[in-house]
Every structure is written in C-alpha cells, then in structure tokens.
A = this chain, B = another copy of it.
C-alpha cells in the first residue's frame, strides 16, 4: 500500500507527500525521526511528522536564515547556531569569513541521520576547522555562554516539546547577553498563515531586548503555506537597509540558488497583504 505523509499546517490544511521509501524510522529521546524519499522533493528529514528539510529545497530556508543576518552585520567573525541539526545552516554560515561557528544541537540522532542519508545538506561543514559541534541543550548553553558572538541563528522546530523554550522571551534575553555590542539574532518564527500569534509573540519577546526588530519572509515549498517568516533582533545594524551592492559583494563567491539582493529586498517589503502580519 502506498504510504502518504500528511504534514499539517494548523488543524485544517496540510502538505501531503507520497513516501516511496522509508530509509530510517526511530525515536530519539526528543522526537520521532524519519528519513523518507519522495519523487518531487527527494530525500526528506521528518521530525514528529513535520518535514524539516528536503534535498530539493533545503537551500531556500538555509540561505534565507543564514545570509540575511550575516550580511546585515558589517564584519561577523563568530556565529552561534542553536538547533539546525541537519547542518545546512552551518554550511551556509561558514561561507562567510568567520573565525568560528558553534552549533548546539540537542538531538544527536538528527546529526547522525543527516550525515548518513542527506550528506549533501551539510556538505563538509562539520569537518571545517572553524566549526564546533556540541550535542547539548541550547537553552542551557546560552545561559552560561563563555564568549560573545556577532550573529546567533535559532533554527528550531515548531514550538512543541524541546523547542518550546526557544520561543520564550527569557531565551531572547539570554541571547542578547551572548551577543556582542552590535550583534544580531535571527530566528525562524513560523507561518504567516496559521501561526500569526506565534509571530506576534516572537516579535514582542525580541522587542524587550533589542532596539531593532524586523520580520521577513522566504518561500519554502515544503513548509505548509510556503510563505515562511523569520524574525531578527538587532542591537545596532538594521537588516532592512543593507545596500544591494554590499549584498552582491559579500555573497558573490557563494554559489547561491535563492538568496540575492533582490530576494533580500523582497523579503522585507513583502506583498501588501502580508505587511500587517509582519508588522504586528
């Protein structure tokens, strides 16, 4: 019998995928981890029945969450990633001339299955001498962080289970402490279709700790609703006003498939119907 995965967006809408082969299926201490194949989207990483990333479209989410804040900072030397177990974000971050990139992922199984079944997503990122992978609780790590970072990226699952604290105002306060004086925080903040309350909650939390708060959109085909929001808290640099020429110069050698100056601009202006959601 053909098996389909129904990846719900809210209660009443879903993306459905025919699963042609299940390559991996197990439970970690934190979540249900699956890897499966779909004809259109390739190999898919699925956590608790939600598609996290696929070989066909992973670059969109990872490029948009990494490069928007990294180009907004004039000279980032250090990067902290919370979550992001598939390594796609680490790979994008390391394209910048950083001195170091720390990645704190709570679930070793996610890193392991990625390296085994979706190795193209991290590429050689985990072997990069600048990379420091830590399998531990990101929330606790940030509380006792030993050094300041220029940019922090929070690549979490939906606000369920282990990800709940990652959307809390207290966490944003700890992250503000972990950032340098002109540091920038970027987080995935959910769907502008069915998680509008979440976007409002994230923005309100960021506003308590950062003078500049911006929400932008990227279009991720495998996330239900496709329009996806990311939110930034910044101490000094406004990501909405980075010059096109700076973006082009900073990313010229990166071989990107989605992000460029035009997408940066479109991400912050958005179509008119989304502006009330993004400016909550």
Contact = CB atoms under 8 A, between A and B. Distances in A.
A108 interface: no
A257 interface: yes
Task: Give the interface size class of chain A.
Answer: 35 or more
A6 B40 CA distance: 16
Contacts of A20: 12
Interface stretch (A77-85, A133-141, A262-270): A262-270
A15 interface: yes
A273 B40 contact: no
A38 B13 contact: yes
Nearest to A64: B271
B265 A262 contact: yes
B273 A262 contact: no
Contact of A12 (B6, B17, B259, B260): B17
Copies in the complex: 2
Given A221-B227, A262-B265, A15 B15 contact: yes
Contacts of A258: 271-273
Most buried by B among A20, A39, A59, A272: A272
Contacts of A257: 271-273
Contact of A13 (B18, B194, B263): B18
A193 B40 contact: yes
A248 B221 CA distance: 30
A266 B265 CA distance: 10
Most buried by B among A10, A18, A256: A18
Interface in A1-58: 4, 6, 9-18, 20, 38-41
A212 interface: no
Interface string A236-273: 00000000000000000000111110110110010111
A162 interface: no
A40 B10 contact: yes
B13 A40 contact: yes
A265 B269 CA distance: 13
Interface of A: 4, 6, 9-18, 20, 38-41, 59-60, 193-194, 219, 221, 225-227, 256-260, 262-263, 265-266, 269, 271-273
Top 10 nearest A-B pairs by Cβ distance?
A: A226-B226, A257-B273, A12-B18, A12-B39, A14-B16, A258-B271, A16-B16, A266-B266, A13-B40, A257-B272
16 contacts: A4-B14, A10-B40, A13-B18, A60-B273, A221-B226, A226-B226, A257-B272, A258-B271, A258-B272, A259-B271, A260-B271, A260-B272, A262-B266, A262-B269, A263-B266, A266-B266
